[in-house]
Amino acid sequence: MKTLITGGVKSGKSSRALELARPFSPDRWFLATATAFDDEMRDRIDRHKAERASAFNTIEEPIAIDVAVRQRMIVDCMPMWLNNLFFAEREQDWEAILARFIARWPEDVIVVTNEIGMGVIPADPMSRRYGMALGLINARLAAAADRVELMVSGIPLRIK
């Protein structure tokens, strides 16, 4: 089932993705989009690696998610992927990469994203562009997904 998990920061999205992926065969994949750009991010990546232990084959791909996607995979996470595009000065590429990703989205893939547009409108133009792009990304993924869950305080709410 094509699943999208969304929610706020630290709402339990990644843990929920791991839970939903348990029935996948032992040939499971994890597509990590994060890059270790500072000590805090390195620690976060290490914690996520320890959480999934050896239960997944990991692919670290910060940009070409359309090429790296496989059956029985968790893709974690779309906001970091978009961040990578912005900082690689490839902001204009997100729509084409996302379209190819959705076209190749296999049946048993769980995609993790964040809801960031539920609060204050950012003061700077780049942050506004980022928020608008992520909102569009989430809407396109939700339209293509069979199931969409919103994580609220560690509780999954099925919205599709």
Tell me the pLDDT tens digit for each residue of 124-139. Answer: 999 999 999 999 999 9
- pLDDT attached to residue 124: 92
**Domain regions of the chain by residue span:** 2-158
State the Cα–Cα distance between residues 160 and 37, nearest whole angstrom. 35
Catalytic site positions: 48
17 within 8 A of 160, measured Cβ to Cβ: no
Instruction: Extract the tokens encoding 127.
Output: 């942050």
Query: Could you say which of 3.40.50.720, 3.40.50.300, 3.30.2090.10, 3.60.21.70 is the CATH number of the domain covering 2-158?
Result: 3.40.50.300
Tell me the pLDDT tens digit for each residue of 89-105. Answer: 999 999 999 999 999 99
State the Cα–Cα distance between residues 43 and 24, nearest whole angstrom. 27
User: To the nearest whole number, what is the mean pLDDT of the chain?
Assistant: 93
State the Cα–Cα distance between residues 38 and 46, nearest whole angstrom. 12
